[in-house]
Amino acid sequence: MINFDDELDKGQESYNQAVGQWWLGQADDRSHAIAYKKIAKEIRRFCKHEPETILDFACGGGQLLAELAKLFPKSKFIGVDGSHKMLAKAKERVPQATFIETYLPDFKLKQKADLVIFCFPNIAPGEDCQGFYNKHGYMHPQDAKVAKYLSEAKDPEEEDTEDPEELYDDLLTDKVISRNLRQLSKPGGICVRVTYSNAKREELSKLGQMRTNFEEGCLSLPVDGAKAEQLFSFEESVYKPSKVILDVYHQTEDEDDKTGGYFISFLRAV
């Protein structure tokens, strides 16, 4: 058994240790294999033309890149991840791709892609990373005001059990990651985010949708007199029931996380 709280406190280095070994096993099971095929097919459906460059942000063991390589034979592939353990597997699966080992987010990356993908995200910032996040937009004044409202607001449609301070930190941390995704996207390029969920995106409460939009950088409407920095526009979302939701249950041990799946959101860089 893994104590995920203790392990993830180590930051992204945890993916070279016990958490990484756990994830390699999870991501190779039947449920994940089916999910990666479905995600790749949805991306192929959405893309009208074959992208020149596809970048997988936190590519893990390369399972999704391998599926995309079958559907986009002319595209150039880039996989970025902070774990040498993951990248070793990815290089075996997609030898034609270029791989970059670096902890994420990384604003020094110079690549620009027509299609950027962030699938089943679980970036684990270490305790010593706050200065880095502050430097890259965590303290953006308008974002901070919007995040404060969204973290403290009570959801009339759901029982809110999250600590407001932790939620505030999560919102702003995730927004920094979205800034990195936007930096790596060409103007007008597509960003695909695959997110664990107990429900379809459109079935989330109004507050839940606003929080999701904020994290992704596609919240376009003012909130409490402040307007968050907009990085993407929302295009569409597709929901898939799947046992991959058990990835979340293993970490939270919350019975509600035994059912659900994931939704695939298509965003356009603005």
- The listed CATH number (3.90.1150.10, 3.40.50.150, 3.30.70.890, 3.20.20.70) that belongs to domain 4-269: 3.40.50.150
Pairing of the two strands 261-269 and 232-241 = antiparallel
Rg of the chain on CA atoms, in Å: 18
Q: How far is CA 195 from the centre of its chain?
A: 6
Pairing of the two strands 261-269 and 98-101 = unpaired
Residue-level pLDDT, tens digit, the chain, 270 residues: 788 778 777 777 888 888 888 888 899 999 999 999 999 999 999 998 999 999 999 999 999 999 999 999 999 999 999 999 999 999 999 999 999 999 999 999 999 999 999 999 878 787 788 999 999 999 999 999 999 999 999 988 777 678 999 999 999 999 999 999 999 999 999 999 999 999 999 999 999 999 999 999 999 999 999 999 999 999 999 999 999 999 999 888 899 999 999 999 999 999
pTM of this structure:
0.94
pLDDT value of residue 21: 87
Domain boundaries, the chain: 4-269
